[in-house]
Amino acid sequence: MKDDLKPTLFNIVATEEHVGDIERSIWTLKDGIHAHISRLPYRHYPLAMVAGVAMHTLIYLNQIPTNNGVSSHLSPGSLITGELTSDYRNNRIYIYSAII
C-alpha cells in the first residue's frame, strides 16, 4: 500500500501501539474544549452544546498555519474551505479571554 500511494507519507503502527502525533492532537483538542467549558456557568451540558464547543475549538485551531503543514502561509481551514485566513486582530477578544 505504501508504494501505491507513494507521495503520501504513512506512519504504520501495530495494534495497541501509541501514536504520539495523534495523541498530541487529541490532547490539544481536549484542552481547548475544557477551556471553553470551564468559562461557562453551567453544571450539565446537553450533547448539542458539547458538539458545538468541540466544533468552535476546531475552527479556531484550524485558523492557525502550521509549521510542518502543506503551506506555511495558509491555515488548514483556508486550504479546505478556500476562505482566507482571518487576521489575528479579528480574534483578539477570543485570545484575550482564553488567556485570562
pLDDT in tens, the chain (100 residues): 667 777 777 777 788 888 877 888 889 889 989 988 888 888 888 999 889 999 888 887 777 777 777 777 777 777 777 776 655 555 554 444 444 4
pTM: 0.60
How many Cβ atoms from other residues are within 10 Å of residue 36's Cβ?
Answer: 19
Residue 57's identity, in one-letter code, is T
Q: Name the DSSP letter for residue 70.
A: S
CA 59/CA 53 separation, integer angstroms: 10
